[in-house]
Amino acid sequence: MIRAMIVINNQGKPRLSKFYNYTPVEQQQQLIRSIYSVLCLQPENVSNFLEGSSILGPDSRLVYKLFATLYFVFVFDSSENELAMFDLIQVYVETLEKCFSNVCELDIVLNYSKMHTILDEMILGGQVVETNSEKVMQAVEEISKLEKVTAATKLISKSASLLWG
Amino acid sequence: MNPFSSETRLRDMIRAIRACKTAAEERAVVRKECASIRAAVSDNDNGYRHRNLAKLMFIHMLGYPTHFGQMECLKLIAAPGFPEKRIGYLGLMLLLDERQEVLMLVTNSLKQDLNHTNQYIVGLALCALGNISSAEMARDLAPEVERLLQFRDPNVRKKAALCSIRIIKKVPDLAENFVNPVASLLKEKHHGVLLTAIQLCADLCTVSEEALEYFRKKCTEGLVKVLKDAVNSPYAPEYDISGIADPFLQIRLLRILRILGHGDADASDLMNDVLAQVATKTESNKNAGNAILYECVETIMSIEDSGGLRVLAINILGRFLSNRDNNIRYVALNMLMKAISVDGQAVQRHRATILECVKDPDASIRKRALELVYLLVNETNVKPLTKELIDYLEVSDQDFKEDLTARICSIVEKLSPEKIWYIDQMLKVLCEAGNYVKDEVWHGLIVVITNSTNLHGYTVRSLYKAIQTSGDQEAVVRVAVWCIGEYGDLLVNNIGMLDLEEPITVTENDAVDVIEAAIKRHTSDLTTRAMCLIALLKLSSRFPSCSQRIKDIVNQSKGSLLLELQQRSIEFDSIIEKHHNLRSALVERMPVLDEATYSGRRAGSLPAVVSTSQGNPLQIPNGVPKTMDAPLLDLLDLSADEPAPQNSSGPNFLQDLLGGDVLSSASQSGTTQPQKGGTDVLLDLLSTGSPPAQNGSSTADILSISQDNNNNKTSVDALNSLSSPMVTSVQSTPASSIMDLLDGFGPSPTVPKDNGPAYPPLVAFESSSLSLIFNFSKQPGSPQITQIKATFTNKSSDIYTDFIFQAAVPKFLQLHLEPASSNTLPGSGNGSITQKLRVTNNQHGKKSLVMRIRISYKLNNKDMLEEGQISNFPRDL
């Protein structure tokens, strides 16, 4: 299964992190730091896989890909195919691209919860749910629509109450 | 309403945090935000609840504590609106975990949402459940999830399938409920449903043997057909990844086939054809295609043998190895590593390509390839492979040399056909990378050299030549110095010439030159210089004509700031000067070192080898406190009646080589301090009884000693058991304590093996009138379980009636109380009550026992109660 999905920027700041096995906050931070410390030392043109046993515990592997300023990292165990995980990063980023068109780090920081929505549509409980970015987008758009409708009604009632108050 | 609460929007907070220039600023901003969120929480402010939670999730990601938001999640989930629920579930997954009791409160909301009419809300609930469900929740909600496996919307079905995986992982008993629904899901056409159903099927097979049998019988054929369709399907644009049709589904299919085919010939037969199709038809110019091929290879390797397919598979890996993409080469090496146990011969065919990968610019590929080469070496190919590796050593990266030399040395040691070849190869390695080898490598070489009597002359001449060209490699210098000291006469007189050698002329002065250069070399460390001094002493007897010159060189070290060298040179000087009669006997050739003992010791003291860098006493000048572990242990060795030089382990080996001289001096060099230091070390060892790693080499040495005594399991425990009485003696009389310890250590092997370790009794409770003593015992083989015999004694003159003893322990312990021997306790110590307790420590080795007790009794018909807590149990119970 997939153990974690982490996005870190090239200064080591976490931009998205999701652990599919329970990990206490301190340990999450520790892991993110140690992953970053390994990643930032990786030279260019080397394979995107790392043996993770030393930092992530037994039977864990790590695949990463650097897009502009962001490292996208998947941590997973031996039941997953490394090359497929590498493609999954690609699918995730493609979806982000469709969602934000010309995605940059700022989009990701500000739309933090949307990132999670997309991730939840793709991976559930450490397993891949959907690999078609069109379908993921459909679901995400439906969800934002639902949110907006309710938010709009709320806004009206709120401004009304402001008027009254 | 708090005027400060929630006034900033999420974006504003993120901007504010991003604008922070220092960590302290960031902390301040976060603190302020957290304070206002807390205020809002305590005001029960509904309007901004979900914005607050969104902020909290961001703060959580940055690593700040957010536990105070947990209840907010539950409130939001219980709210009717979609945005609240959504953010609530998101928070639930991030901020809470399955171990928290708060989680139980959410079960009801989850149940309602799983039955909601809005499929997106159902989706949210399924997602949350699949990510964080605890065993209790899994049990409670399994029927809902099972029902949702048949939901009309496929998006819900696929999520329900993955949610089921979490459920059966948490509660494997529930697996059988899911077998039938999954079988029908496997027949579906919808991509997502099929993908997740296969995943669920795979997990069912791993938790339940029956499910595996069922799916093997009923579904293998169907799955093979699905895969066949996927391979042969026309281009389906919606699931392709760079031109390959639906790789994720194919990979999942291959994986389930692997599980079904493993260990079952019939099922394997069914899938042979389709596997061959996948292996031949999949395009390998894209990552996605290679992912499928890779999975296919793994499946072929795991299912029952079909020779043709395996060849096909290994050939695919061979193709991968020459791929330009690093990732592909990396996974190919990984897979070959697995394949080697299945079909070593086939992997051998790709040896040349693998060897090329050892030279890859990518470090992780190099590392993998080297491990693989190591597995591939056998008697027939050891010579050419070693040559290749040594040639490569010359041009390899600095930081790769250590790994590479370690592997080469290990290969040479393991498979060398003859000693002369071994020595030659080792010399080549040392000449190339003598600064990168570990100490045990050259220790091992010296052992081999002493054992090959007919090669002494050849070796010392080769080393003489080697040090001329590679004098900058520390290990070469050390071995050469040692050999010249031992076999200097053979060097000068060309004794023991082999046919293949060309004669060289070396004068006695030339030989001394080498040693002099080595001792004066500014990069030489203490070990090398100490070795040089001893070599000089030996040569002074072997080359009488150079005696005066040697004496001069030795004298130069008299002023050394390193106490070790200074003292040694003074001693040696006086040997050379005054004790001619003694000298030749004193500096005779070392006896042949026993190879078996050395390798056995190396195997036995692996931790010591790891800690060589800090543990080696010779690295520390002046022989003060830390160095004491070695001599002291040597004393211990003596007490164990073993010949001392053969009994110390890894790091001390050097001292054996030096003939024990350095060793004895170290114990003389500081007269008062070392003893103190020594007892400290022992005190640590004995009183804490902590795991060996903490004590570094010294504990490991004790371990190796205990192995020598064939009592490896018990003697460490025995040491611990001796601790408490001895610690007191150590403290009171430090001077004699070492002797005490030795006395204590000597008989320790006689502690009977089968009774398990003994523990001192513990006074668990004591008042003016009542005392409670615990005696401990353990069954061998179950270290977690401690039997405690509690003995109650009444010191007052009155009789206690209705005597009841109760005890409570924390969760990691389990306590079983047996009935007491009586409920009446006679006075004045005229008898006692005994009661047996059995404690099982689930965290044995990590946590020690702790217990709360309550004793109630009647004194002259008046109720009395005593309570207490016991936390001073022996640590390793």
Q: What is the pLDDT of residues B715-748, one digit of tens each?
A: 444 444 434 443 333 333 344 444 444 444 434 4
**What pLDDT does residue B235 have?**
54
Is the pLDDT at A21 greater than 60? The verdict is: yes
- Rounded-to-5 percentages of helix, strand, coil across chain B: 65, 10, 25
Residue B145 backbone class (left: φ over 0; alpha: ψ -120 to 50; beta: rest): alpha
pLDDT in the model for residue B750: 39
Q: What dihedral angle (degrees, nearest 10) is formed by the CA atoms of B674, B679, B681, B684?
A: -160
A112 and B241 in contact by Cβ < 8 A?
Answer: no
Q: What is the pLDDT of residue A152?
A: 64
CA distances (Å), origin B116, targets B126, B223, B590: 11, 33, 86
Q: Using the beta-carbon criterion (under 8 Å), do A45 and B361 form an inter-chain contact? A: yes
The answer, yes or no, to whether residue B207 has pLDDT greater than 70, is yes
Contact criterion met (CB < 8 Å) for A86 and B163:
no
- Asked if pLDDT for residue B285 goes beyond 90, the answer is no
Contact B200, B157 (CB under 8 A): no
Q: Taking CB atoms and an 8 Å limit, are A49 and B331 in contact across chains?
A: yes
Q: What is the mean pLDDT of residues B204-208?
A: 91
A25: which chain B residues are within 8 Å (Cβ-Cβ)?
A: 60, 63-66
Which comes out higher in pLDDT, residue A116 or B617? A116
Put simply, the answer to whether B241 touches A90 (Cβ < 8 Å) is yes
Residue A159's pLDDT band (cuts 50, 70, 90): low
Residue B345 pLDDT: 82
Task: Report, as an integer, the average pLDDT of B513-540.
Answer: 87
Q: Tell me if chain A has a CB within 8 Å of the CB of B247.
A: yes
Q: Is B148 on the interface with A (CB under 8 A)?
A: no
Range with lowest mean pLDDT among B402-411, B475-484, B712-721: B712-721
Reported as a pLDDT band with limits 50, 70 and 90, residue B94 is confident
CB–CB contact B83 A51 (8 Å): no
pLDDT at B445 over 50: yes
**Range with the poorest average pLDDT among A122-136, B21-35, B151-165, B492-506:** B492-506
CA distance B332 to B372: 11
User: Which B residues in the span 465-504 are in contact with A, Cβ-Cβ below 8 Å?
Assistant: none
Residues of B in Cβ contact (< 8 Å) with A117: 86, 90
Q: Which residues of A touch B239 (CB under 8 A)?
A: 131-132
Place A157 in a pLDDT band, splitting at 50, 70 and 90. Answer: low
Q: Is B361 helix (H, G, I), strand (E, B) or coil?
A: coil
Residue B683 reports pLDDT greater than 80? no
User: Which chain B residue shows the shortest CA-CA distance from A138?
Assistant: B155
CB contact under 8 A, B251 and A81: yes
When pLDDT is averaged across residues B393-419 and rounded to a whole number, the result is: 84
Residue B236 banded pLDDT, cuts 50, 70, 90: low
Q: Residue B793: pLDDT band by 50, 70, 90 thresholds?
A: confident
Which residues from chain B sit within 8 angstroms of residue A134, using beta carbons?
238
Burial of B369 (0-12, 13-18, 19+ CB in 10 A): buried
Residue of B nearest to A2 (CA): B131
Select the more confidently predicted residue: B498 or B668.
B498
Cβ contact A134–B97 (<8 Å): no
Is A47 within 8 Å of B326 when comparing Cβ atoms?
A: yes
CA dihedral sign, ordered B367, B373, B376, B377:
negative
Q: Do B326 and A45 touch (CB under 8 A)?
A: yes
What residues of chain B lie within 8 A of the CB of A150, using their CB? 81-83
Provide the pLDDT confidence category of residue A4 given band limits of 50, 70 and 90. Answer: very high
A142 to B120: CB separation less than 8 angstroms, yes or no: yes
pLDDT at A160: 56
Nearest to A113 among B54, B66, B330 (CB): B54
- Min Cα distance A117 → chain B (Å) is 8
Q: Is B60 on the interface with A (CB under 8 A)?
A: yes
Candidates B737, B796, B807, B731; CA nearest to B768 is B796
Average pLDDT, rounded, for chain B: 77
Question: How high is the pLDDT of residue B743?
Answer: 43
Residue A164 has a pLDDT of 54
Cα gap B720→B717, rounded to integer Å: 5
Residues of A whose CB is below 8 A from B295: 81, 84
Q: Which residue of B has its CA nearest to A43?
A: B362
Higher pLDDT, B319 or A165: B319
Q: Quote the pLDDT of residue B647.
A: 39
- What percentage of chain A exceeds 70 in pLDDT? 90
| DSSP SS3 for B293 | helix
Cα torsion A108, A110, A112, A117: sign: negative
Give the pLDDT band of residue B198 (cuts 50, 70, 90).
very high
Q: Which residue type occupies B71?
A: M
| pLDDT for the residue numbered B564 | 86
CB distance B514 to B467 below 8 Å: yes
Q: What gap in Å lies between CA B495 and CA B157, rounded to an integer?
A: 86
Q: What is the DSSP string of B616-664?
A: -GGGSGGG-GGGGHHHHHHHHHHHTTS-GGGTS-GGGHHHHHTTTHHHH
Cα–Cα distance for residue pair B295/B243, rounded to 1 Å: 18
Q: Are B157 and B119 in contact, with CB atoms under 8 Å apart? A: no
Residue of A nearest to B94 (CA): A18
Q: How far is CA B793 from CA B769, B827, B835, B860, B872, in A?
A: 8, 8, 12, 17, 20
- pLDDT value of position B145: 93
Q: Which pLDDT score is estimated for B720?
A: 43
SS3 of residue B788 by DSSP? strand
In the predicted model, is pLDDT for residue B660 greater than 80?
no
Judged by CB atoms closer than 8 Å, whether chains meet at A125 and B166 is answered as yes
Residue B606 scores a pLDDT above 50: no
Walk across the sheet containing B832-841 and list its strands: B762-766, B770-778, B785-794, B832-841, B813-817
The residues facing B851 across adjacent strands are B870
Whether residue B165 is predicted with pLDDT greater than 90 in this model: the reply is yes
Task: Give the pLDDT of residue B671.
Answer: 37
Contacts of B66 in chain A (CB under 8 A): 25
Q: Name the residue facing B326 among A46, A125, A131 (closest C-beta).
A: A46
CA distance A114 to chain B (A): 10
**Are the Cβ atoms of A49 and B239 closer than 8 angstroms?**
no
**A150 Cβ neighbours under 8 A, 6+ residues apart:** B81, B82, B83
| Backbone angles phi and psi of B115, in degrees to 5 | -100, 10
Residue B310 reports pLDDT greater than 60:
yes
Looking at the partner chain, which of B11, B255, B364 has a beta carbon nearest the beta carbon of A46? B364
Least confident of A115-119, B409-413, B504-508, B640-644: B640-644
The confidence score (pLDDT) of residue B709 equals: 44
Mean of all residue pLDDT scores within chain A: 86
DSSP B423-471: HHHHHHHHHHHTTTS-HHHHHHHHHHHHH-GGGHHHHHHHHHHHHHH-T
Give the 3-state secondary structure of residue B815: strand
Query: Which DSSP category does B234 fall into?
Result: P
Segment B564-579, tens digit of pLDDT: 888 888 988 888 888 8
**Rounded Cα–Cα distance for residues B749 and B753 (Å):** 9
Q: Which helix (H) or strand (E) holds B56?
A: helix B49-61
B363–chain A Cβ distance below 8 A for any pair: yes
From the number of C-beta atoms within 10 Å of its C-beta (0-12, 13-18, 19+), residue B470 rates as buried
Which one of A65, A122, A124 would you mutate to disrupt binding with B, by most B Cβ within 10 Å of its Cβ? A124
Q: What pLDDT was estimated at residue B157?
A: 93
Whether the pLDDT of residue A163 is over 80: the answer is: no
pLDDT band at residue B245 under the 50/70/90 scheme: low
Per-residue pLDDT, averaged over A54-73, amounts to 88
Residue B350 pLDDT > 50: yes
Q: Which two tokens stand for residue B715?
A: 């003697």
* Residues of B (785-814) whose Cβ lies below 8 Å from A: none
DSSP B83: H
Are residues A146 and B120, on separate chains, in Cβ contact within 8 Å?
yes
The reply to whether B194 touches chain A by the CB within 8 Å rule is no
Please say if the pLDDT value at position B318 is more than 80. yes
Chain B residues lying within 8 Å of A22, measured CB to CB: 97-99, 132
Bridging pattern class, strands B800-808 and B862-870: unpaired
B28 neighbors B21 (Cβ within 8 angstroms):
no
Is B191's Cβ below 8 Å from some Cβ in A?
Answer: yes
φ/ψ bin of B361: left (φ > 0), alpha (ψ from -120 to 50), beta (otherwise): alpha
Report the residue of chain A nearest B17, measured CA to CA: A109
- Asked if A147's CB is within 8 angstroms of B61's CB, the reply is no
Q: Do B327 and A18 touch (CB under 8 A)?
A: no
- Beta-carbon contacts of residue B683 (< 8 Å; ≥ 6 apart): B727, B730
Question: Cα dist. A145→B720, B807, B876 in Å?
Answer: 68, 60, 60
Maximum Cα interatomic distance, chain B, rounded to a whole number of Å:
105
Q: Which residue of A has its CA nearest to B259?
A: A79
B255 inside 8 A of chain A by CB: yes
Burial pattern B40-73, b for ≥16 Cβ within 10 A else e, equals bbeeebeebbbbbbbbbbbbbbbbbebeebbebb
What b-and-e string marks burial along A103-131, b requiring 16 or more CB atoms within 10 Å of the CB? bebebbbbbbbbbbbbbbbbbbbbbbbbb
Q: For chains A and B, count residue pairs whose Cβ atoms are closer than 8 Å.
A: 164
> CA B747, CA B641: separation in Å to the nearest integer?
11
Are B839 and B788 contacting, i.e. CB atoms less than 8 angstroms apart?
Answer: yes
Pick the closest to residue B537 from B571, B581, B562 (CA basis): B571
Q: Which residues of A touch B81 (CB under 8 A)?
A: 150, 154
Q: What is the pLDDT of residue B655?
A: 43
Instruction: Identify from A115, A127, A128 which residue to disrupt to test chain B contact, counting B C-beta atoms within 10 A and taking the largest count.
Output: A127
